[in-house]
Amino acid sequence: MRLTENELRALHAEACAAVLSNDRSVTPAEDAFWPLYIQSILDAHGAHAMLSMAARDVIAERQRHVDVEGCTPEHDDEHAPGTLALAGAAYALDAGYALDSFVPADADHPEPLFWPFSSDWWKPGIPRRGLVKAASLILAEIEHIDRQESHSEAQT
pLDDT of residue 142: 96
Number of other residues whose CB lies within 10 A of the CB of residue 155:
6
User: Distance (Å, rounded) from C-alpha 111 to C-alpha 41?
Assistant: 35
Q: Which residues contact 141 (CB under 8 A, 6 or more apart)?
A: 82, 83, 84, 85, 88
User: Distance (Å, rounded) from C-alpha 16 to C-alpha 41?
Assistant: 9
* Whole-model pTM over 0.75: no
pLDDT of residue 71: 93
| pLDDT means over runs of 10, the chain (156 residues) | 66 75 70 72 65 87 91 95 98 92 79 94 94 97 92 75
- Residues, the chain: 156
CA distances from 58 to 7, 45, 102, 149, 155 (A): 23, 19, 28, 23, 32
